[in-house]
Structure 1
């Protein structure tokens, strides 16, 4: 997909439709692709039928060759009109998320759940029907994984945006969600860097709930002593992107002389995001499973998407049982994982 997304802007601007627009109207055209991710996972295939403010305009055909295979993608351009203002964008519902709604409605799957206690104090696991909480978890994984993927490829950055929204909120129509996103993107086009907003931003998936937890810090990077340099690289990148020092939990200063487990326990209560370096060094720690379950019980047992493991590429990778349900970010020697982490913890992707 990324080989086609980077051609999107040129395709739009070279089209007869765009060339026939006045300069004033062009200012309201977004060349990004908006992936619509509703809370209920209820996918709509005929978008104009869902909102009278949205009208079909034209279709763009993008052709490319990848690995010797011919690929083609069709994207629809829509107009969004609210009162006297009209903007234009390409948008779609990822069809894969509709599967989650079907699984929930028809009980077509069973997921393993980890519960406190049990064998070797690592927690017990049992199978249970696919629940609303499972859907929320999988939706969160999809949301963050898609954003991370888009940021992984330099030529794809800012070509698409994932819009996570509460489709049960009748006051925020689909046209309003899109209009707000388009106007925000067009306004920020002249800024090369989008600085981290002041204050702690809640995880996008948690904003779908009526109540939100408050955290003293934004992020903690958990690591062994051997991985201190890799952890510092992540912290330095977050600071460079504009995150305040006061939003980064410094466990060594806050809890001098404390054990790794104790630092994780305190951080799990005080920090919204928990970046966990699962490198070769960390995975050699035989007590890792117990430490993880002890420190991150809330996120694991309630299956909240607050833990972000960064996994080292290595042979014989053994991931703790308690963390196998979480989406991982691969550690990259060229630093590509840094932007993926920032995109998640900064809350920079638009939520509606």
Structure 2
């Protein structure tokens, strides 16, 4: 009897250790911020985008926005980004509304773009990477499952050669390190803070921010809106041509070749930029990611020299966003 108990206890401990080590491998795995889905996809960008949208809708991911990425003016290639959201995934990543800041890891962004060597490529934001950063390690497995399901559905729709290549900044930890990096949510910048009342709530503050976007002089454009007041947040995605163009140009520098001058096109899913209106206790906050941190997160593979020679860029972008938001809140 004693030997049986010892054997059972040993098996239990071994099983626990194996489970712990497997989970640890998922948490400590190296993830790229972006991942390919298919390369050498037949057709043209417009037809492939339609197939991607159809595949997403069939997987219960609602397409909430689409935009053509602005590329450096002498670039002849094309990129279109499809933005989609899923109610169940959204709810999970914000811990059923207990952690609205997790919405910075939303939504899904899929890019369809042309290249000189691999024809049309379909890639997307890497869900396990962003889930680990913005929601936490315990969300990675769920994100992997969602990512695999989406990739299979899109591949079935568009064809081409399947690819799971991960790229962009590669990390085995949750956050970008070094100058400009640091933890999340320490990277969140609160633009404004409003005590909640009968007249001040997520929807009323969002209306004002939307006015700021509509009338802004910085040429920002609204791409999507995710309204989840019951989950404690409303998210707006904005972008502008000059910021996209400059970011892709900067990221292309160290990888550029005579044949492919702007490979940074593959970072198109780094946009749109998020404005998050969210609950924080009895207050409503309007927040963005610090732009230096956001650029470090999505574009660190450009190399330190690219950041050194564009030191004013993050501040300029963040200042323009802040000005737009505050002007809206002043209405």
More helix as a share of residues? 2
* Alignment TM-score, normalising by the size of structure 1: 0.21
* Alignment TM-score, normalising by the size of structure 2: 0.22
Choose between structure 1 and 2 for higher RCO, CA contacts under 8 A separated by at least 6 residues.
Answer: 2
